[in-house]
Structure 1
Amino acid sequence: MVRISVDLPEEVAAALQAAARALQSTPETLAAAAIRDRVADQAALEAELAQAEVELEAGLGVPHDEVMQEMHAWAAGIRARHAGR
């Protein structure tokens, strides 16, 4: 186990203390969980970006302009169906 010390602004420390009390936990436990989640999220994001780059290089991507045209047409269709309401 590695101990890391972090300086927090007073308002952040107070909010962390309050959240820990509300959850019947400790600030250290909440901070450790938040850091674990953030690191896991970063690893997942990097994996998704790497996969997206592979797909783009393979020509599997859809140009942004095409996606936006489809989204605008989709939204216009919904608006048209609900115009009389």
Structure 2
Amino acid sequence: MAQVRVMSDDDGEVTALLEALMPLLRAHPAFVVSGTRELSKRGPGERVVFELLLADRQGPQVTVERTDRPDSGRRGLPRS
């Protein structure tokens, strides 16, 4: 898996670039794109990373959607 890092010292430049780039990558059938993650940075600007896979090199994908609501109580082993 390749990791792509987008960095700039100019405020807003990374965000603007990703707003244009991510829809293109996600729409392309050759790529599977992860969500973005912002890295800490000293000083002005932004550092963002995301993973990029070639669609034909990945294994089978599974999507799971939860339809029930989790219990609001604490989970764990029963008291003995």
TM-score by structure 1 length?
0.26
Higher fraction of helix = 1
Greater relative contact order (Cα < 8 A, sep 6+): 2
Determine which structure has more spread, i.e. the larger CA radius of gyration.
Answer: 1
TM-score by structure 2 length?
0.27
Higher fraction of strand = 2
